[in-house]
A and B are shown apart, each in its own frame.
Chain A
Amino acid sequence: MKHLSEYRDKELAQKLIAAIRDQSKRPIRLMEVCGTHTVSIFRHGIRQVLPPTIQLISGPGCPVCVTATEEIDRAVKLARNPGVMITTFGDLVRVPGSQSSLQMERASGADVRMVYSTFDALKLARENQNKKVIFLAIGFETTAPTIAAAVLEAKLLGLENYFILSAHKLLPPALEVLLNSGDLNLQGFIYPGHVTTIIGTGAYEQVAEKYHLPGVVCGFEPVDILETILMLVRQIEQGQAKVEIQYKRGSSAIGNPKALNVLNRVFVPCDAPWRGLGTIPDSGLALRPEFRAFAAEDHFDLQVPPAQDHPGCACGEVLRGIKTPLQCLLFRTACRPDSPIGPCMVSTEGTCAAYFKYNE
């Protein structure tokens, strides 16, 4: 078993599609919280094979999309410091702040490197002692423990030229804000498999109980997604609101306590700005006092003017699932993947980029 190709099986997919069509009676709206699901749904053409009773809407689970403009502006300001090397995941390089992006700063001479892992950034810091190497840390609970592990390692090595700028986000507080916003019309959640790998299903149990909304933790291949939709359809048709795990090979109800322990040793929750959702209490991560030596904001001037989002941009509503990109006036006209205005167009897993790229 390879644990991947098996879940792209055509026959299995077609049987699941037939079962979904057969069993789905009531019109329902399901939210895929995670941007990687959004991409997979478009990439495999899942929307077109579902019956008209099922509508999928995309939630706020793309770390690039929810990164606030001011966070990008700070990264840009950092990149302009002489002697600084910016390291980050490829996802962030193109994201526009209010004036510039890291890609544009690189074209203007800044040292911006893409890495696959924070440990690659650590390596760059060790090899370039004359430079201050800053890792722009984005991501949800899945990614944050990897950043934390690198901070622990940096401390162990006594590195003095490695810093992080944390723009991490936590999922449960954002779900809570969504559910309390009042303008959501939802019957169930497709929960992110890899966040669950770390945090388990505790937070979803509360959602199921408090809001009577079923949810299924889902893998990322087409068979996973179809199976998840079938599980949700069955629950909804039977009036249930349980949390189930479809993605059993990659996650469990208890999550990964070891990774959470590493995360909590290094980080403490803090208020964080979300693009489209505003500032949410305790939804971000800040370095604990004993690790402040690695906090970029303590060593560099990161004051930036308050950012103005484009007034026509509907990313906020798109992230909350109350508008589709097609309802945004800028979509496909002023806002395109090569000249993005909102974050949902910038990230390959952003809802608008996915609509632009894959939708007929």
Chain B
Amino acid sequence: MTFDKVLLDHGGGGRASHELIERVFVPRFQNPFLKEMNDSAVFDLNGANLAFTTDSYVVDPIFFPGGDIGSLAVCGTVNDLAMRGAKPYYLSVGFIMEEGFPLKDLEQILLSMERAAQEAGVQIVTGDTKVVPKGAVDKIFINTSGIGLIPKGFNIAGQNAQPGDAVLLSGTLGDHGLTILSKREGLAFESSLKSDAAPLNHLVQEILSTGPEIHVLRDPTRGGLATTLNEIAGQSQVGIEIWEETIPIRDSVSAASEILGLDPLYVANEGKLVAILPQSQAEAVLAVMKKNPYGQDAALIGEVKAENPGKVVLKTIIGGKRLLDMLTGEQLPRIC
């Protein structure tokens, strides 16, 4: 069955998104930077090694426990820069608002953007505002772009994972995605869930201070850990094995996932990172991560293998194995 319209699945961050990008966008704008498909483009400009990225935020609801669309818009772009080892400096912001959007809500969003920018140590230096007729967008959409500087000697990219490398995860999975779902109309349930939205650039700087041998950093946002690891396995042409019993997941997240029939390995995070680095460095980096409040639940969750290039395998608690594919479309709550 072919279809000539964009579906919600195409924005889910999984295989459908990737196919849309690869089939429609990459051929049109082809250049070596875009083709790499990393969180930020990295290029040399007058001797400075710069990272540049952009992201749009359309989260519904716009306010949720642990953050709002504003904090998300700052943290997400800061994190995309940090995942290339860059120190983020400047952000742009574009607002598209629906006619009738309450000014009070806008003020609140701006306040949390200010706070997140302060925490990350970035400045919002340029911006744009558009208002569209009622119904043309849902309440408010935000785009942010960011620019950062990569220190000399670092080359962190999805292509660099090597067999034997350790896979570290900075904390618990699924907190953001399940928080958002729990507030959706028709599914609403009460919970103690809280989004993990946070700027990770300081954590990254601390990791980098242990030495230059970090191969890959990536934040498992839409599509979750499973999709992120699949991207890395594909880009580096390596296999990745992770161990179920080592993966930190909060009981509350695990419970909400059971109730909705979702898999936390595929649920979005907004304040977590995956680090892939030589085994010999793993212990030291893990210790550094655990000292940072955004890395206190960090764990060694797996290793990079030469076998099964492009594939991610989960070793289950009972000793079985399961192939972890990329997320296909949106994860839908189910009863069956």
Of the stretches B6-14, B132-140, B274-282, the one at the interface is B6-14
Which listed residue (A14, A45, A139) contacts B322, Cβ 8 A?
Answer: A45
B153 contacts chain A at the CB level, 8 A cutoff: no
Contact B320 A44 (CB under 8 A): yes
Contact A14 B318 (CB under 8 A): yes
B104 contacts chain A at the CB level, 8 A cutoff: no
Whether A116 touches B187, Cβ cut-off 8 Å, given contacts A89-B334, A94-B332, is yes
Q: Which residues of B contact A357 (CB under 8 A)?
A: 323, 325
**Bound CA–CA A91/B335 (angstroms):** 7
Chain A: CB-nearest residue to B317: A10
**Bound CA–CA A145/B211 (angstroms):** 61
**Bound CA–CA A43/B315 (angstroms):** 10
B245 contacts chain A at the CB level, 8 A cutoff: yes
Interface residues of A, Cβ cutoff 8 Å to B: 4, 8, 10, 13-14, 17, 35-36, 42-49, 62-64, 87, 89-91, 93-94, 96, 99-101, 103-104, 106-108, 113-116, 120, 124, 139, 143, 222, 226, 336-339, 347-349, 356-360
Interface residues of B, Cβ cutoff 8 Å to A: 1, 3, 5-9, 15-16, 19, 185-187, 189, 245, 258, 260-261, 263, 308, 313-323, 325, 328-329, 332-336
B12 to chain A, nearest CB (A): 10
Whether A10 touches B245, Cβ cut-off 8 Å, given contacts A44-B318, A48-B320, A49-B319, is yes
**Bound CA–CA A222/B317 (angstroms):** 9
Contact A114 B332 (CB under 8 A): yes
Contact B334 A91 (CB under 8 A): yes
**Bound CA–CA A91/B262 (angstroms):** 11
Whether A13 touches B317, Cβ cut-off 8 Å, given contacts A36-B336, A89-B336, A114-B333, is yes
**Bound CA–CA A167/B224 (angstroms):** 33
Contact A17 B334 (CB under 8 A): no
**Bound CA–CA A227/B102 (angstroms):** 57
Contact B313 A360 (CB under 8 A): yes
Which listed residue (A8, A116, A139) contacts B333, Cβ 8 A?
Answer: A116
Which listed residue (A47, A94, A114, A116) contacts B329, Cβ 8 A?
Answer: A94
Contact A348 B261 (CB under 8 A): yes
Contact B335 A143 (CB under 8 A): yes
Chain B: CB-nearest residue to A8: B317
Contact A360 B321 (CB under 8 A): yes
What are 7 of the A-B contact pairs (CB < 8 Å)? A43-B316, A46-B318, A47-B320, A99-B1, A107-B8, A115-B187, A357-B325
Chain B: CB-nearest residue to A35: B336
Minimum-distance CB pairs A-B, first 6: A45-B320, A90-B332, A13-B318, A337-B328, A45-B316, A90-B333
A102 to chain B, nearest CB (A): 11
**Bound CA–CA A349/B315 (angstroms):** 20
Q: A45-B322, A338-B328 are in contact. List 5 more A-B contacts (CB 8 A).
A: A43-B263, A45-B315, A45-B320, A114-B332, A358-B322
